[in-house]
Structure 1
Amino acid sequence: MTPWAPADLTVVTGGAGWFGRAFLDAVARPRPEHGPVARDGQVRVLAASPAEVPDILEVLPRAVVHVGDLADPDVAGRLLAGASGASVVHAAGVIHPARVADFERVNVGGTRALLDAATHAGVRRVVHLSSNSAFGVNPTSDDRFRQHEPYRPHLGYGRSKMRAERLVLDAAASRRLDTVVVRPPWFYGPFQPARQTTFFAMVAAGRFPVLGDGQQVRSMAYVDNLVQGVALAEHHPEVSGQAFWVADREPYTMERIVMTVQRVLEEEGYRTRGRQLRLPVLVGRLAERVDGTLQARGVYHQQLHVLGEMDKTIACDVSATVDVLGYRPHVELAEGMRRAVRWCADHDLPVAPRRSPR
């Protein structure tokens, strides 16, 4: 199987987001671990607001940036005007919205508008970033989400990602639009948003909650591993209409995740409390119940939602991605967290107090 050559035009939605900037940075400075991400053609990027444009141009100065709401069909149409044969990486979406209604408007409406415009333009392929939330949680700690997993969406975000993914896969069958879905779990690494920096700060302060025995299992994806998976899905000629999990090779327990972050922070010269906040599993169950009640009333609370997932196992099997796409994740938890902490230091983001020099 010979991979497709890079398209003359690449279109990226969600270009100012965590994955979006990591992907554009890899285009600007490709390394072997990124897979087939290098390209010389035009890169057209959608920003949701003018405030996002500098973040995009900082990582890829040659990007041609469009600004607008992807859920607006006119915006989607302009973004993909003249995009025949283009490669489209659809990463735009909302995870922690101001209101629950934004899940449907942005994640589902934006995907629908993009697919309509992509069909009209005659693009080569759309690679859509989905989420583990469309599949809920694993029933047992040793279960893993497989490539052909039934949908069991978790609350509003999960339902919106399920609906968006179905639109993308249906487009491959009904419109003959070439589409591929990539399903990442919780990812980590450079270009992280404020919520991930807060996670580091809470671990350093001993305030990030580990529920029960901390043996809940979580798949995670270092952002460069995810970039590789997306680039492979973008260029494989025989995977239209399929979906692939992209994560680190093996999942980690929550206890290991927190302890690894704590150790890396200490090795990088930050002060930590050297302890973990232990709470009963019941706390997570109560948080999930309250979160569900609030979301049913249109109210979203980020911290409550995250706490409600801390007692869950959410883990996937990447073997099909390895076998079919040739995916080879190069970075594991400790090294990825180290790179993320150093990225925070380079950007003067407050993670934790520094240790005094001796």
Structure 2
Amino acid sequence: MTETILLTGAAGLIGRVVHHMLCERGDRVIAIDRIGGENITACDLTEVHRLYELAATVTAVVHCGAISGPMVARDNPFLIVSSNVVGTANVLELARVRKMRRVVCCSSVSAYGNTPAGLDLVPEDVPLRPTSVYGASKAAGEHLLDGYAFQHGIDGVSIRPAWVYGPGRTTECGIRTMILDAQAGRTTHFPFGCDFYRQYVHVDDVATALVLALDMEKLPRRSYTITGGSYITLAEVAQTVKRVLPQADITMGAGPDPIDDVQARFDISAAERDLGYRPYVTLEDGVCSYADWLAAQR
């Protein structure tokens, strides 16, 4: 059964893939983004009256609109709060007034901060202790969703992707740097990372998880973590890039990424059980698709 879905952040990395998935299956999508675009209406999440005008017939929301990571707008924390916290509040209030069926919010593992020591697998229910304004804004958005759910009956769910990569990503990203340097014949050197674990997830897998959360009739949880299923060091990521691009010359020092959290492996069994989520893009296949896209952009 098709419906009319409001998609925020439709011109962004994840939003573009969600937009394609929803349109391909026949849903009517009201796609908005601050910058607009092809088949995307320009609308900032703080433009409340415009939001209500556009969402007159909307029955559900996939909310991807946000400042998109801890590496973005680090010197403008108020912009992060305005976009991610106030913007989410506006979307939730819209859903309450319009009595929408469901709100799916794209959160982030940055909401966790550094995960508790001693855990081999990190479940969704550990305390959120973000270490950045971005992470705090995502945690705040999740708490707002919980409040609207308990007090106003909004059926909402937060999806927490790990580090998202793949076609469309233009912001700072280790995999992106490695690929671009290899394609340009440059050496990549990170002064950290050879022993630092990171959990990458391809944009297609994240978009799939969001659509699954939109479609599921009943959800027993309000938050789900999404990863690509791997837990490997940046040195191992570099080896994957070298298999795809043999000309890649990548060196690394030891120690953690100075702008990233230290996080143990996330447990994605809840998403597997409740959403039917399975990561299907291997890191090697994902690097291939990202390399092809980056080459095409050049």
Pairwise same-fold verdict (TM > 0.5): yes
Q: Name structure 1 gaps, 5 residues minimum.
A: 30-37, 58-62, 285-305, 349-358
Are the equivalent residues in 2 in contact too, given 1:169–1:241 (CA < 8 A)? no
For residues 208 and 134 of structure 1, the distance between their equivalents in structure 2, rounded to whole angstroms, comes to: 28
Q: Which residue of 2 aligns with 1:41?
A: 27
* Distance apart, 1:309 and its partner CA: 1.9
1:1-358 superposed matches below 5 A: 5-6=1-2, 8-28=3-23, 38=25, 40-49=26-35, 52-53=36-37, 57=38, 63=39, 65-83=40-58, 86-94=59-67, 95=69, 96-97=72-73, 99-140=76-117, 143-196=120-173, 197-202=176-181, 205-209=186-190, 211=192, 214-239=194-219, 242-266=222-246, 271-273=247-249, 275-278=250-253, 280-281=254-255, 307-309=258-260, 312-313=262-263, 315-348=265-298
* Distance apart, 1:158 and its partner CA: 0.9
Q: Secondary structure at the match of 1:151?
A: coil
Are the equivalent residues in 1 in contact too, given 2:15–2:207 (CA < 8 A)? no
For residues 99 and 234 of structure 1, the distance between their equivalents in structure 2, rounded to whole angstroms, comes to: 32
* Distance apart, 1:199 and its partner CA: 4.9
Structure-2 change in CA distance of 1:237 and 1:157 (3 Å): same
Are the equivalent residues in 1 in contact too, given 2:7–2:64 (CA < 8 A)? yes
Q: Secondary structure at the match of 1:120?
A: helix
Task: Give the number of the structure whose residues are more often strand, by fraction.
Answer: 2
Code of the residue aligned with 2:128 in structure 1: it is Y
* Distance apart, 1:141 and its partner CA: 8.3
Q: State the superposition RMSD in angstroms.
A: 2.2
Q: Secondary structure at the match of 2:120?
A: coil
Cα deviation per residue 1:200-235 (whole Å; 9 max; x = unaligned)? 3357733341526x2322222111111221111111
Cα deviation per residue 1:3-51 (whole Å; 9 max; x = unaligned)? xx44x2011100010001122233355xxxxxxxx2x1311111202xx
For residues 75 and 315 of structure 1, the distance between their equivalents in structure 2, rounded to whole angstroms, comes to: 41
Q: Could you say which structure has the larger radius of gyration? A: 1
For residues 95 and 259 of structure 2, the distance between their equivalents in structure 1, rounded to whole angstroms, comes to: 37
For residues 314 and 207 of structure 1, the distance between their equivalents in structure 2, rounded to whole angstroms, comes to: 26
Structure-2 change in CA distance of 1:9 and 1:75 (3 Å): same
Are the equivalent residues in 2 in contact too, given 1:190–1:223 (CA < 8 A)? yes
For residues 190 and 321 of structure 1, the distance between their equivalents in structure 2, rounded to whole angstroms, comes to: 24
Identity over aligned pairs, percent: 26
For residues 188 and 258 of structure 2, the distance between their equivalents in structure 1, rounded to whole angstroms, comes to: 12
Length, aligned pairs only: 290
Cα deviation per residue 1:305-341 (whole Å; 9 max; x = unaligned)? x64328x335411011111211121111111111111
Code of the residue aligned with 1:45 in structure 2: it is A
For residues 147 and 115 of structure 2, the distance between their equivalents in structure 1, rounded to whole angstroms, comes to: 25
Code of the residue aligned with 1:243 in structure 2: it is S
* Distance apart, 1:140 and its partner CA: 4.5
* TM-score calculated relative to the size of structure 1: 0.75
For residues 225 and 10 of structure 2, the distance between their equivalents in structure 1, rounded to whole angstroms, comes to: 21
Structure 1 segments of 4+ aligned residues over 6 angstroms from their partners: none
* TM-score calculated relative to the size of structure 2: 0.89
| Stretch of structure 1 that moved more, 126-135 or 142-151 | 142-151
Are the equivalent residues in 2 in contact too, given 1:180–1:233 (CA < 8 A)? yes
Q: Secondary structure at the match of 1:211?
A: coil
Cα deviation per residue 1:228-280 (whole Å; 9 max; x = unaligned)? 211111111111651111111232222111221233222xxxx433x4132x4
